[in-house]
């Protein structure tokens, strides 16, 4: 079993595709704190709520010197539709490539539902310090109140 980066380790610097067709990677945010929230799928109830919650608090995160980045395996074009449909302001990135950031962190993992086993995105959030090291990890996130909890941690960092 390989070990994945944890608190105190450097955030892996792996590029992902933006909805505009560009690319983004954690080091692009050097000098700022960064919240990367991984979620399973665009336009599903929990994921929509989580993205809306982070978007609603974007100004508060910015005031705390913290950038946001939501990540799923959905294609960039689907992210663009998701952003437009729900008026999301938290930037999104597509981590669709094998060996991507979600693989490097172990959040692309085996899941089970209704007795079936499949690969899927674990709902997890990483708070990265301005120096690029992982300051806090939330795994198996419950959506209700999560964005507020992450904001409090970002303010305290």
Looking at the domain assignment, is residue 38 inside a domain?
yes
- DSSP bridge pairs for 118: 111
Looking at the domain assignment, is residue 102 inside a domain?
yes
Looking at the domain assignment, is residue 5 inside a domain?
no
Q: Which of 145, 150, 118, 120 is closest to 34 using CA atoms?
A: 150
CA dist 76 and 35 (Å) reads: 19
CA dist 82 and 45 (Å) reads: 12
Residue 40, domain CATH: 3.40.30.10
Looking at the domain assignment, is residue 88 inside a domain?
yes
Query: What pLDDT is stored for residue 3 in this prediction?
Result: 87
Angstrom CA distances, 27 to 23, 36, 116, stand at 12, 12, 37
Query: What pLDDT is stored for residue 2 in this prediction?
Result: 56
Q: Are 36 and 78 in contact (CB under 8 A)?
A: no
Looking at the domain assignment, is residue 7 inside a domain?
no
Looking at the domain assignment, is residue 2 inside a domain?
no
Exactly one of 47, 68, 83, 121 is catalytic; name it: 47
Looking at the domain assignment, is residue 11 inside a domain?
no
Q: Are 42 and 72 in contact (CB under 8 A)?
A: yes
**What are the pLDDT digits (tens) for 100-123?**
999 999 999 999 989 999 999 999
Range of the domain at 27: 16-156
Query: What pLDDT is stored for residue 1 in this prediction?
Result: 45
pTM to 2 decimals? 0.96
Count of domains forming the chain: 1
Looking at the domain assignment, is residue 29 inside a domain?
yes
**What are the pLDDT digits (tens) for 125-156?**
999 999 999 999 999 899 999 999 999 999 99
- Catalytic, 18? Answer no
**What are the pLDDT digits (tens) for 2-54?**
589 999 999 999 999 999 999 999 999 999 999 999 999 999 999 999 999 99
């Amino acid at each position: 079993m390989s070990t994945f980066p944890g608190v105190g380790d450097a955030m892996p610097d792996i590029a992902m595709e933006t909805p505009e067709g560009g690319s983004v990677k954690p080091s692009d945010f050097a000098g700022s704190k960064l919240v990367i929230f991984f979620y399973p799928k665009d336009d599903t109830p929990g994921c929509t709520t989580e993205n809306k919650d982070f978007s609603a608090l974007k100004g508060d995160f910015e005031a705390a010197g913290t950038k946001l980045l939501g990540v799923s395996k959905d294609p960039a074009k689907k992210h663009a539709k998701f952003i437009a449909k729900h008026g999301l302001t938290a930037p999104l990135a597509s981590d669709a490539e094998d060996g991507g950031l979600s693989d490097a962190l172990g959040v692309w993992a085996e899941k089970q539902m209704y007795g079936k086993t499949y690969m899927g995105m674990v709902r997890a959030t990483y708070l990265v310090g301005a120096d690029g090291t992982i300051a806090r990890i939330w795994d198996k996130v419950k959506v209700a109140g999560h964005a507020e909890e992450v904001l409090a941690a970002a303010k305290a960092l």
